[in-house]
A and B are shown apart, each in its own frame.
Chain A
Amino acid sequence: MQPIICVEGVTKAYNESAPILQDVTFKVEPGQFTAVVGPSGCGKTTLLRCIASLMQPDTGSVLHRGQQFKEPPSWLSIVFQDYNRSLFPWLTVRKNVAFGLRDKNGRAERVLAALRSVGLEHAADLYPWQLSGGMQQRCALARSIVVTPQLLLLDEPFASVDAQTRTDLQDMVMDICRRMSLSALLVTHDIDEAVFMADKVVVLSTRPARVVEEIEINLPRSRDQLSTKESPEFLHLRHRVYTLVRQQAHKSTIVASTDRT
């Protein structure tokens, strides 16, 4: 089966400046949960925007099952970090979730099902700004899954909520991906989160970002915030990813200090 997403030699620069992405190549297989980590500011979000086709790479390509695509496609959904800027404040939770559905048939049922799977059916008629941050992010999640996509792009989706909410959301996202057989691509700076949630972690270098290493996470799929995170395998993988990211971050400090002299 062709990969859901195949990123091939993607390079991207903003107006003549030094490139953000340099020859980035990796794949997301069907049903796979992939996490992309890297030092902060390395270009993770730019990569995600190229994959979502919100911007076009300068060179290289992004293929879906071997095909190119130009506009944000319907088989792909995205959850942004800043939920309060992506949910529409003039629409209720229900209407926000229904916003992307073009098909009128069974619309109400589908919206309700999506709201149920994120536990928000009781808040359907409230406005997003009447909800807590975690509930808003669940609303954004419901909106992204109601269109039954094949791939979920997650751009630091848990970065703006408190620690307790974050772990709840992680469990919820993993559960939804499993139940809907969704592939997911999570961009995060949180190494624990990446190792805990993913089947594969792609480590990016400092700017210009390229893939340093791909690490298979061979932990059993049913994961638990306590037992999984205490297992020796988890700690070992976490250590490996952490070391790689820290090496990269360290390089960027050296580059920065030599720049200054």
Chain B
Amino acid sequence: MLGIVDPRDVPSFAAILQAAASGIWGGELLFVVLATMSTWAPGLLIAGIAGVVAGVSLAMLPRLEIATRPLLEFLRPIPSVAMIPVALPILGIGLELQLFMIAFASIWPVLFATKAGVESVDPRYIETGRMLGLSRLMQVVRIVLPSALPAVATGLRTASAIALVLAITVEMLTGQPGLGFYIENVRLNGLITEMWAAILVTGVTGYLVNTLFLSIERVALPWSPDNRDQ
């Protein structure tokens, strides 16, 4: 080899695969993944609900949008991890902090995709609703929301990946159980093969989450222009 990397830091791929497999089947790794997913899921759910509500409201109420624009433009570029020192003394180390961080980071794609989806509803759809005698509320429920669903789904899928990153990062920084803490822990103990195995499992988890969301979209929104030919 070139001697740049100490071979002890880079175990063989076969060894990594073996460690990952034995970690998942009968080892600690499965529980570690489940621990991460158990904060990821509620965190993403909060971001999803809040993002959809905020996105719809901002798109439907131009005055609210103008009033909150400076605040949103201020909050959005802040790296989520930079919020930890602010949130830590308020929320303390624990589930609340994890959920807050996950939701704070992953709300943005949901919010902006929903807002764009609602804003781009074809005015002819609304006109058709008016001709068929729908009230303003029913126009929103039966026309605006369904028509924005593909955009919301795309936002949620993007958010699901961000939520996973944040779940792991917060575990690393605060020592809560999960993939992040596990990776830190095995690294500090010199278990390099286990560390690589955990990183591999993290990547596979992210891939599976994305695949899951794509499959749900295909089944739930067969009419979406992205799914029509499949």
Residues of A in contact with B (beta carbons under 8 Å apart) = 52, 54, 71-72, 74, 76-78, 80, 82, 85-86, 88-90, 99-100, 102, 127, 129, 143, 147
- Encoded as 1 (CB less than 8 Å from any A CB) or 0, chain B from 130 to 149 comes to 11110000000011001101
In Å, the complex CA distance between A88 and B132 comes to 13
**Bound: A102/B228 CA distance, A:** 30
Contact, CB under 8 Å: B223 / A86: no
Give chain A nearest CB distance to B147 CB in angstroms: 7
Q: Give the residue of A72, A90, A100, A102 whose beta carbon is less than 8 angstroms from that of B223.
A: A90
Is B122 close to A, CB under 8 A? yes
Contact (Cβ within 8 A) B133 A90 = no
The A interface is mostly helix, strand or loop, or mixed, namely loop
Task: Look across to chain B and name the residue whose beta carbon is closest to the beta carbon of A82.
Answer: B124
Given known contacts A88-B125, A89-B223, A102 and B133 CB-to-CB distance under 8 angstroms: yes
**6 extra interface residue pairs, beta carbon distance < 8 Å, beyond A90-B149, A90-B221, A100-B133:** A72-B133, A76-B131, A86-B127, A99-B132, A99-B142, A147-B132
Q: Does B12 contact A (CB under 8 A)?
A: no
Chain B residues near A76 (CB-CB < 8 A): 131
Contacts of A90 in B (CB 8 A): 146-147, 149, 221, 223
Taking CB atoms, residues of chain A closer than 8 Å to B146 are 88, 90
Chain A nearest CB from B146 CB (Å) reads 5
- Size bracket of the B interface: 10 to 19
How far is it, in angstroms, between the C-alpha of A173 and the C-alpha of B52 when the chains are bound?
43
A75 to B227: give the CA distance in the assembly, Å.
Answer: 37
Q: Does B128 contact A (CB under 8 A)?
A: yes
CA distance A71 to B127 in the complex (A): 12
Q: Are B133 and A129 in contact (CB under 8 A)?
A: no
Q: How far is the CA of A143 from the CA of B146 in the complex (A)?
A: 19
B131 near A77 (CB under 8 angstroms)? Answer: yes
Bound together, the chains give a CA A188 to CA B102 distance in angstroms of 56
Task: Given A90-B147, A90-B223, A127-B223, answer yes or no on A85-B122 (Cβ-Cβ < 8 Å).
Answer: yes
B84 to chain A, nearest CB (A): 41
A80 to B122 alpha-carbon distance, docked (Å)? 14
**Which B residues are in CB contact (< 8 Å) with A129?**
223, 228
A100–B132 touching, CB < 8 Å: yes
- Contact in complex: A54, B131 (CB < 8 Å): yes
- Of B130, B149, B223, B228, the residue contacting A54 (CB under 8 A) is B130
Give the interface centre of A74, A82, A86 by most chain B CB atoms within 10 Å: A86
Report whether B133 and A80 are in contact in the complex, using a CB–CB cutoff of 8 Å. Answer: no
- Docked CA distance A141–B127 (Å): 16
Given A82-B124, A90-B147, A127-B223, A74–B133 Cβ distance below 8 Å?
yes
Contact across chains for B131 and A52 when beta carbons are under 8 A apart: yes
Closest chain-A Cβ to B98's Cβ sits at a distance in Å of 36
Q: A198 to B128: give the CA distance in the assembly, Å.
A: 25
A-side contacts of B143, CB under 8 Å: 88
Q: Say yes or no: A85 contacts B228, CB within 8 Å.
A: no
Residue of A nearest to B122 (CB): A85
B71-103 interface bits toward A, Cβ cutoff 8 Å, 1 = contact, 0 = none: 000000000000000000000000000000000
By a CB distance below 8 angstroms, the chain B residues around A82 are 124
